[in-house]
Chain A
């Protein structure tokens, strides 16, 4: 191990959706974050097409690994381990990364760590703000996930408090952008329009915020329908749709529910730190509202820079480095790509040596990423 130089040197591979990511970290220090995205190839379909993503991963895999090594200025032979997203995600896409990571680790004679995509989204904050407080509360929001997770130990103990019961937050952005003819992906463009609009112009519903609703779960399907109906009614009446106001009011409804529930989860569980990750964490209104509400509640907010919030290899490397640092068991060569890997399993240890104590949680299957084409 490489502690004398500032922690384990780990390369991480991420292919759970449409980004081919390869990152290299040394402990909590980011050395390289190479990403090849196939997002442009999906744009005309209005959503991520799994087979298109998988084909792009195969083409980009080796060049992206080599670019990361070059950016980091390290030799592959100096690596202490190879980490890879084992799940959850698109099955065929995950399989390319897992196969590459195995071949890479095997050829270099290094240990392999199959890790959980969601835990990686949390752990990446170590590269931005140093060691994760224990416990950390995490709000993960993207096109694939919307969940509240409590992480007493990111390498062995991650507990799901709540998640979306229908659409992911990012999906709702994509769908509303489509109704408004704004293109794909929807998050950045709605954020941009919303800056010109009035967030209080239209009062859209806040899903699952009633007194008898599940406290930490999310629902964005009703909101999506309400916004679409509102737009259609305007169009039917021959009126112009106020795109900026609709964007701002829709975004406000999403962000209000996300931050309200996240802060509530921190208070209920006596947690003083909230981290927000996932692609939607790049949303400027989410950041602003979370900052204000956390400050009011005396909670320290940690949001990594946008490039670390979207899917990337650095987050996988960050969690892999933590696995090495804490002596967690490596994965076996028959590691599977598991499209519905439960969030309660931060990594997939091999059979051989027993994992250290502390690995004792239930197997609630939290399906975070849709396994299917958005349009199937």
Chain B
């Protein structure tokens, strides 16, 4: 088993290679504006560091968001294209699950990332009995921090969204993971594959409708 994991749903552009028992190499860069430039060189670097070639990869793992950035699509289209050329499966994982896996928390907690526009993407988790991964209790959601204050106050929290709105996420763990790590995502995927668990289809979780306005007084009259 050789997993190539990547995630560009958040400001982090992260790539990792995992052989089923451990991480062989990882790259993590935080730059919300350069997903497109950074990802492929990072893949190349990670493979070189591990001394492997892309065609040795048996599975692609990709963070499907939720993510506010146009960069989310960079990881997804890269994963889909690799999968098509190599003829290997592409597994989707919720980006928040990667952060949850990296948190190592042993009590119920929440993960929140920055959704911009003064909102967060977030979900609640229950820790797994070691070595099982944490279980996500809620579908990922997008909300204004003030609207979920009662639900998250005092609850242990990780992720850049929790750090950004620490007056709402009052249980935020400053030593917890702030940004996504493809190594954590790969480790989670390796566990799920070993356990024969289903993962998500590699399709984006936008959670928001596209911004678009229908012009006023618009009507279609098609000539014969």
Contact = CB atoms under 8 A, between A and B. Distances in A.
B106 interface: no
A333 B212 contact: no
A99 B84 contact: no
Contact of A51 (B39, B74, B212, B221): B212
Interface string B69-102: 0110110111011111110000000000000000
B15 to A, nearest CB: 12
Contact of A107 (B41, B82, B211): B82
Nearest to A374: B215
B131 interface: no
A95 interface: yes
A181 B219 contact: yes
B212 to A, nearest CB: 4
Interface stretch (A57-65, A126-134, A249-257, A321-329): A57-65
Interface string A99-116: 110111011100000000
Interface residues of A, number: 45
B11 interface: no
B77 A103 contact: yes
A333 B70 CA distance: 19
Given A103-B40, A334-B40, A44 B223 contact: no
Contacts of B168: none
Contact of A334 (B41, B86, B204): B41
Interface string B170-207: 00000000000000000000000000000000001010
A29 to B, nearest CB: 24
Interface string A52-71: 10110110011001100000
Contacts of B213: 45, 375
A100 B81 contact: yes
A47 B215 CA distance: 9
B139 interface: no
A95 B36 contact: yes
A104 B81 contact: yes
Contacts of B76: 58
A106 B43 contact: yes
B48 interface: no
A337 interface: yes
A44 B40 contact: no
A61 B80 contact: yes
The dominant DSSP class at the A interface is: helix
B115 to A, nearest CB: 15
A192 B223 CA distance: 8
A100 to B, nearest CB: 5
Given A103-B77, A103-B82, A107-B82, A46 B211 contact: no
Contacts of A193: 223
Contacts of B222: 182-183, 189
A103 B223 CA distance: 44
B129 interface: no
Nearest to A77: B85
Contacts, number: 122
A336 interface: yes
Given A106-B44, A334-B38, A183 B214 contact: no
Nearest to A49: B212
Nearest to A102: B40
B54 interface: yes
Contact of A45 (B36, B38, B85, B215): B215
Nearest to A76: B85
Nearest to A63: B84
A326 to B, nearest CB: 25
A183 B212 CA distance: 17
A178 B216 CA distance: 11
A98 interface: yes
A65 B84 contact: yes
Nearest to A190: B223
B5 to A, nearest CB: 15
B147 interface: no
A181 B70 contact: no
B212 A102 contact: no
Nearest to A180: B221
Contacts of A336: 36-37
A333 B41 contact: yes
A54 B210 CA distance: 10
A91 interface: yes
A106 B6 CA distance: 15
A243 to B, nearest CB: 8
Interface string A355-373: 0000000000000000001
A62 B203 CA distance: 13
B84 A102 contact: no
B77 A51 contact: no
Interface string A168-212: 000000000010011110000100110000000000000000000
Interface of A: 43-47, 49, 51-52, 54-55, 57-58, 61-62, 65-66, 76, 91-92, 95-96, 98-100, 102-104, 106-108, 178, 181-184, 189, 192-193, 333-337, 373, 375
Given A46-B218, A334-B38, 20 more contacts: A44-B214, A45-B213, A55-B204, A58-B73, A61-B77, A65-B84, A66-B84, A96-B73, A96-B77, A99-B36, A100-B80, A102-B40, A103-B77, A103-B85, A104-B81, A106-B54, A107-B54, A107-B86, A178-B215, A184-B220
18 contacts: A54-B73, A58-B76, A61-B80, A61-B81, A91-B70, A95-B71, A95-B73, A96-B74, A98-B36, A99-B78, A102-B40, A106-B43, A106-B44, A106-B54, A178-B218, A183-B222, A334-B38, A373-B211
